[in-house]
A = this chain, B = another copy of it.
C-alpha cells in the first residue's frame, strides 16, 4: 500500500449502521477522522466522527489495533505510529461501524456530537506556516510591494516561517481582537490600540505523523509517510500590525494572538482517493530543484479539495440568517505540494515531531470568487465587500463569525468533508 492507493475502506458501497452516517456531507464511513472530545461530564478522550456521532475509541481500545495509543488524551502517540499501523486501525474501525452484527456492542460508546466538546487533537510541538498559495502571494505581494509582488525566490523555495503553537485553538473558541502597533500613512509615529484591519486567512493544516531525527532530512519520496492528516486553519491576521512590524524578520504579533483549526484530523488514508496529478507549472517557470522532485508526488501529490469561507455577522445572527459564502476555490492552487513542504522543512536536518502542525498559507484562486482573505477581496480595504441586508466589510467586525469548510470529491468515490473551522470576533479589551 502506498499513500495514494485506495482499498475497501474507500468503497462507495460500504455503509454504516450508525443513524445519519450514510450520505453525511462530512463524516460518512469513508472518512473516519480522529479527534479528541469530552462527552457530557466526561474527560477528554480520543474518538472518531461518524455522521453526527462520535465513537469513543478509548472505551473500545482493547478491541482495536494500536490500543495503547488510543488510551491517551492527545493524538500524538497515534500520529507517531508507522503508517501501516494507522491503516490497520482504520480498517478495524471501518469494520466495526459497518458490521451490523456487532452494532449492539458498539452503540453504548457512541455520543451525539452536538453534546460533546471538541479539543485540540494533539499537543502541537512546533507550528510552521508556508506560503504556497501563489495567487495569494501575488495578491498580497502587490499590496505590500507594488513593483515586486512575487520575489525571485518564490518559484525555487517553498517559503515558510515559524508561527506560534501556544495560541492555536480549536473551532468554536472566540478570538479577542488584538491590540498592537500600527502606523497610519499620514502619521509620523505609530500608535498602539485595537487592530482596525483584522482579517482571516483560509488555509489547509497538515498534521505531522512520524518524525525525523535532528540532522536527518526526509527525502521527498518518503515525505507522504510523515503526514498523519489534514485540517482547516484560519490564520487570523491583523493587517495594520503586520504592515508595520513585518520587516525584516517576518510576521509576529500580527498573527500569533490566535489561530483556529478544525478539530477533526482527516487522515492521509482517508484522503487517498482524492489525490491528483500536480497541475503543470506555468510556461517559463523553473523546475523544482532535485530534492523537491518525485515522480509519485508529480502524479498524485495534489489534493482534490474544495475550500470555502463563509461569514455570519451579528446582524445576520439576529435575523436568523444562514452564513453567506465569501469565496470558494480548489486546493490545487498550491504552487508546492504537501510532500514538497515536508521535504523542504526537513532538508536542512530540522527535526519534525508527531503532532507538529504545518499550514499551507492562504489558498486563493486566480479570481475573486476564490480569494482566501478579506485583504484580497476588499483590495486592501479599498473596495468593501457587500453582504445581504445592506452590510459590507473591508475587514472583520466584532461579532462576526468566520466559517471555513472543505470537501474532497472524486469520480467514483463518496465525498468527505472536514467539518467546520469557526470562530467569532470579540471586541478588544
Contacts and interface: CB of A to CB of B under 8 A. Distances in A.
A125 B165 contact: yes
Interface stretch (A72-80, A225-233, A244-252, A407-415): A244-252
Contacts of A167: 214, 350-351
Contacts of A176: 214-215, 349
B349 A179 contact: yes
Contacts of A258: 214-215, 349
A222 to B, nearest CB: 16
A258 B346 CA distance: 12
A238 interface: yes
A189 interface: yes
A178 interface: yes
A176 to B, nearest CB: 4
Given A190-B289, A348-B180, A245 B165 contact: no
A152 to B, nearest CB: 8
A286 interface: yes
Interface string A171-189: 0000010111101000001
Contacts of A179: 217, 291, 347-349
A290 interface: yes
Contacts of A349: 176, 178-179, 257-258, 429
Contacts of A61: none
Interface in A263-293: 286, 289-291
B248 A164 contact: no
Q: Interface size class for chain A? A: 35 or more
Nearest to A291: B192
Given A348-B238, A348-B257, A141 B181 contact: no
Nearest to A191: B289
A256 B348 contact: yes
Given A157-B181, A247-B153, A248-B144, A256 B350 contact: yes
A162 B162 contact: yes
Given A166-B351, A181-B289, A249 B429 contact: no
A214 B64 CA distance: 37
A356 B166 CA distance: 10
Interface string A151-167: 10100110111111111
Contacts of A238: 348
A192 B157 CA distance: 11
A247 B151 CA distance: 7
Contacts of A126: 164-166
A131 interface: yes
Contact of A163 (B162, B241, B353): B162
A32 to B, nearest CB: 29
Interface of A: 125-126, 128, 131, 141, 144-145, 151, 153, 156-157, 159-167, 169, 176, 178-181, 183, 189-192, 214-217, 238, 241, 244-253, 256-258, 286, 289-291, 344-345, 347-353, 356, 429
Given A153-B245, A161-B161, 20 more contacts: A125-B165, A126-B165, A131-B249, A153-B190, A153-B244, A157-B190, A161-B252, A162-B252, A165-B165, A167-B350, A167-B351, A178-B348, A190-B289, A216-B429, A217-B429, A241-B348, A246-B249, A253-B347, A257-B348, A349-B429
11 contacts: A125-B166, A141-B248, A153-B245, A159-B245, A161-B250, A178-B349, A192-B291, A253-B347, A257-B348, A257-B349, A257-B350
